Structure 1
Amino acid sequence: MEVRSGRTVRDLRRENRAAVLQRLYFDGPSSRFALGPATGLSSGSVSNVVAELVAEGLVEEAGSIDSAGGRPRTLLRVRPDSHYMIGIDIGETRVRIELLDLTLTELARAEKPLAADGPRRVDRYDVGVVVEHLRTGVAEVLDRSRIATDRLLGVGIGVPGIVAEAPGEGAVVHGQTIGWNAVPLERLLRESVRLPEDVPYYIDNGARTLGQAEMWFGAGRGARSAVVVLFGSGVGACVVTDDLGQGRAVEWGHLTVRVRGRRCRCGALGCLEAYAGAEALLERWREAGGRPLADADEETALTAMLTAAYPEDGADGAGAEPDATALAVLEETAEYLGAGFSDLINLFQPERILVGGWAGLQLGARFLDSVRAYATSYALDHPAAHVRIGLGMLGPDAVTVGAAALPLAGFFARGGRQVEAGPRETAPAWRTALRGRAAQ
């Protein structure tokens, strides 16, 4: 049966289920009475949907509250152990694999270091090595948690690069900065990871998964529009225009900030990432006469640079003189980042800009104050006056949490059903006729 809007009754039922599930999930336990105004559904529709969800084990009772003059109202909540998600962050120093329940409680974790064997940074991203890390990591978290695979909503993966769909391959990753050229990551995982064929993979840019996490669960909640910046070895961003929708990743780190400038790891000249990414920041400190820790990973080396620049922040640096070279490089980096932020402000006019990623969290509020000052000085007055710039709330696990939220988003979109069942759609008559003409 089809309604006038073009949607079928099945579509409407799915949307009603999704509305109830999302309100219970994001707003916490609620009564049937309160769900009506919150979802815009009639009391009869709410009762029908809740009855379905309870019967399927997706929703359960969670106590009761007093009502005004009537019987106590039963509270409902999404059942935490009804389904599970795996979230994976293919990061810059390690691969992190987590298994979470619907409350985002971590049940098991595996971490696999990405160490470079040769002089080039891209060596650590050997595709075979990364896929093997994912294969063993997924097996480890499932073994430790003893979760049956039929209760998995899917596997979400945040990657450094652009993700596209290719016929017969699924998600393909174009990671120019890490040496990945059209890597068929989904196919490789399906061939190597021991999961049933019907467990979906959701592979997306790491900045987008970070944005998903901060908007749904972190510092972005309540904002109608935001830009979430991922600041690690490189820099990226996710632009979000709907607080419960999925944002879009933008290659912000590869905007040109200086014509014929420094060589970026993508191969171009003058990219923001060539000045503002942690890898470039440490290299510029070295070129200016600084002494980054030898043979240390980037996270450890950046910590040492910050301790040198701000010795009072170190465990035993009280009274030490700041490293003038490190301070100068950090201040120049703040100006480059501020200029990059001004582009985001002028282009998207967001309510908030949120900074995450391991390097962003290390640099912290003090550094961000300087970035904020440069951003507002370079941006147009009106949008600059209406944006709030701050740090993300979810810490170093934000990309992993956002990756786990990708299967969750798909689950909501399907109205809480793991597999869409229904009749096979037939092509419209005009398509058959035109194909017949083209074949003549």
Structure 2
Amino acid sequence: MERPRHKTTRDLKLGNRMRLLRRLYFDGPLTRRDLAPLTNLSIATISNVTAELLSDGVLREAGKVESDGGRPQILLEVDPAHARVVGVDVGETQVRVELLDLKLNEHAEARYALDPGRHDPATVVEHIVSGVKEVLTAANGVPVLGVGVGMPGIIEYGPEGVIHAKTFGWDAVPLGRMLMERLDPLPVHIENGAMTLGQAELWFGAGNGADNAVIALIGSGVGSCIVAGGALYRGAGSSAGEWGHTTMQVAGRHCRCGGRGCLEAYVGAEGILDRYLTATGVVALPEGGEEAALERLLDDDSPAAVAVVDETIEYLGAGLADLLNLFNPELIVIGGWAGLMLAGRRLTDIQAAAESYALGQPFATARIVPGRLGPDAVAKGAATPVIERFLDGRA
């Protein structure tokens, strides 16, 4: 049996640094005096560690606050400009690459359209690599900590970054290894897109402060991120949150996953538009892509369009009710580009539909709100694992 390793002075210093850095990142700006009760560290230790972090350029001074009878206290915060991170959102219709600072503010962006049926690994890898190289030119010498990639499907976490994505036709594709071979020496972290959306909304968006929540991702497809006790819940095989593939109708519409009656086939943008085309007999969508087509549909007051949208709202409400009844969250956040469109126009109707299908108690104790971070929240969230490594002293 391996004997436990004794902590060294270096371990203690790293632990103190990590504790202070995380507190200042999420709760700053704070004074050194504020940090003492929040971290259980002595003022002397706090002074030493913060002096090092200021010297390293990780922290910056953010003003002063008056103290009782003494000198004003200096406020400290993490300097967002200290480093950059890259976040990538691989969706059904495009690859979006963003260069972000440590507070997820965007400094550069590159986008590449994905044609229907062109989701082969080689094409996706080429778009990601090209996008990363393009946005890195805007780093202007600022250190870049790594690349995070948000993908649909089930992720096998590890150095290979293996992905199973039925909607792309991917089975055990080692995307992490493929990207690291092209982007070395930048570290690459692969994550499920709904999880990245959830983490971003928890850190800086509508989910901030929630201990038990569900963040719903509604785009071309549908997914979710479940938050339990303030942490992301992944399940035994990292596939928790596949809400889009819960059954809404037995023997119902065919879903892209190969099943039938999935929620995604009714409330995902592809499913909504396909139902409209079927109802009207239109052969194909007009030019402009899914996002433009869905926006036109939501603003169309023709009977056929209204019927499809009303039915979508009811299916979405029923799906949210399932989440309320199963997980009893305090909060449901509706995100994703299609989810934000639906919530922006019909939030009250979505809430009413959820209430009509949910049990009274879980509905009464929850809020249903739109996401705050916009349609690029997946890309922003994809960068959060890279920032986590930085806060833990591993970057």
Same fold (TM over 0.5): yes
Q: Please tell me whether residue 263 in structure 1 is matched to residue 254 in structure 2.
A: yes
Q: 1:158 aligns with which of 150, 168, 176?
A: 150
- Following TM superposition, by how much is the alpha carbon of 1:343 offset from its aligned partner in structure 2, in angstroms? 1.3
In 2, are the aligned partners of 1:293 and 1:304 still within 8 Å (CA)?
A: no
Matched ranges for 1:22-171 at <5 A: 22-116=22-116, 123-147=117-141, 151-165=143-157, 170-171=160-161
Aligned mates of 2:107, 2:82 — CA distance in 1? 14
- Following TM superposition, by how much is the alpha carbon of 1:188 offset from its aligned partner in structure 2, in angstroms? 0.9
In 2, are the aligned partners of 1:290 and 1:325 still within 8 Å (CA)?
A: no
TM-score, with structure 2 as normaliser: 0.92
Aligned mates of 1:41, 1:345 — CA distance in 2? 40
Q: Deviations over 1:122-162 (max 9, x none)?
A: x12121111111111111111233335xx222111110111
- Read off the aligned partner of 1:189 and give its amino acid letter: L
Provide the secondary structure at the position in 2 that maps to 1:256: coil
Q: Please tell me whether residue 251 in structure 1 is matched to residue 242 in structure 2.
A: yes
Q: Please tell me whether residue 205 in structure 1 is matched to residue 195 in structure 2.
A: no
Indicate the percent of aligned positions where both proteins have the same amino acid: 52
Could you say if the C-alpha distance between residues 8 and 260 of structure 1 is closer, same or farther in structure 2, counting changes exceeding 3 Å?
farther
Q: Give the equivalent residue in structure 1 for 2:355.
A: 376
Q: Give the equivalent residue in structure 2 for 1:317.
A: none
Provide the secondary structure at the position in 2 that maps to 1:363: helix
Q: 1:183 aligns with which of 164, 173, 190?
A: 173
Could you say if the C-alpha distance between residues 111 and 147 of structure 1 is closer, same or farther in structure 2, counting changes exceeding 3 Å?
farther
Q: Please tell me whether residue 349 in structure 1 is matched to residue 328 in structure 2.
A: yes
Q: Deviations over 1:225-254 (max 9, x none)?
A: 2100000011100011244x4454510000
Q: Deviations over 1:186-233 (max 9, x none)?
A: 11112223x31xx32111111110001111001111222210000001
Could you say if the C-alpha distance between residues 224 and 7 of structure 1 is closer, same or farther in structure 2, counting changes exceeding 3 Å?
farther
Q: Give the equivalent residue in structure 1 for 2:237.
A: none
- Following TM superposition, by how much is the alpha carbon of 1:6 offset from its aligned partner in structure 2, in angstroms? 8.0
TM-score, with structure 1 as normaliser: 0.83
Aligned mates of 1:242, 1:48 — CA distance in 2? 33
Bigger mean CA deviation after superposition, 80-89 or 101-110: 101-110
Aligned mates of 2:313, 2:6 — CA distance in 1? 51
Provide the secondary structure at the position in 2 that maps to 1:298: helix
Q: Give the equivalent residue in structure 1 for 2:311.
A: 332
Aligned mates of 1:289, 1:261 — CA distance in 2? 19
RMSD: 2.1
Matched ranges for 1:265-344 at <5 A: 265-289=256-280, 291=282, 293-308=285-300, 322-344=301-323
Q: Deviations over 1:402-426 (max 9, x none)?
A: 1112211122233xx52xxxxxxxx
Q: Give the equivalent residue in structure 2 for 1:314.
A: none
Provide the secondary structure at the position in 2 that maps to 1:288: helix
Q: Which has the larger radius of gyration?
A: 1
In 2, are the aligned partners of 1:211 and 1:247 still within 8 Å (CA)?
A: no
Could you say if the C-alpha distance between residues 16 and 348 of structure 1 is closer, same or farther in structure 2, counting changes exceeding 3 Å?
farther
Aligned mates of 1:126, 1:147 — CA distance in 2? 33
Q: Give the equivalent residue in structure 1 for 2:365.
A: 386
Could you say if the C-alpha distance between residues 279 and 10 of structure 1 is closer, same or farther in structure 2, counting changes exceeding 3 Å?
same
Aligned mates of 1:390, 1:290 — CA distance in 2? 35
Gaps of 5+ in 2: 235-239
Work out the number of aligned pairs and report it: 386
Bigger mean CA deviation after superposition, 126-135 or 294-303: 294-303
- Read off the aligned partner of 2:102 and give its amino acid letter: L
Aligned mates of 1:35, 1:87 — CA distance in 2? 31
Q: Give the equivalent residue in structure 2 for 1:316.
A: none
Aligned mates of 2:251, 2:182 — CA distance in 1? 43
Aligned mates of 2:165, 2:119 — CA distance in 1? 10
Aligned mates of 1:71, 1:216 — CA distance in 2? 33
- Read off the aligned partner of 1:348 and give its amino acid letter: F
Q: Give the equivalent residue in structure 2 for 1:430.
A: none
Could you say if the C-alpha distance between residues 9 and 240 of structure 1 is closer, same or farther in structure 2, counting changes exceeding 3 Å?
farther
Q: Deviations over 1:31-77 (max 9, x none)?
A: 10111122233323322321332233312333322211001112212
Gaps of 5+ in 1: 117-122, 309-321, 419-440
Q: Deviations over 1:160-192 (max 9, x none)?
A: 1111036xx610111011211111101111222
In 1, are the aligned partners of 2:343 and 2:350 still within 8 Å (CA)?
A: no
Aligned mates of 1:25, 1:265 — CA distance in 2? 40
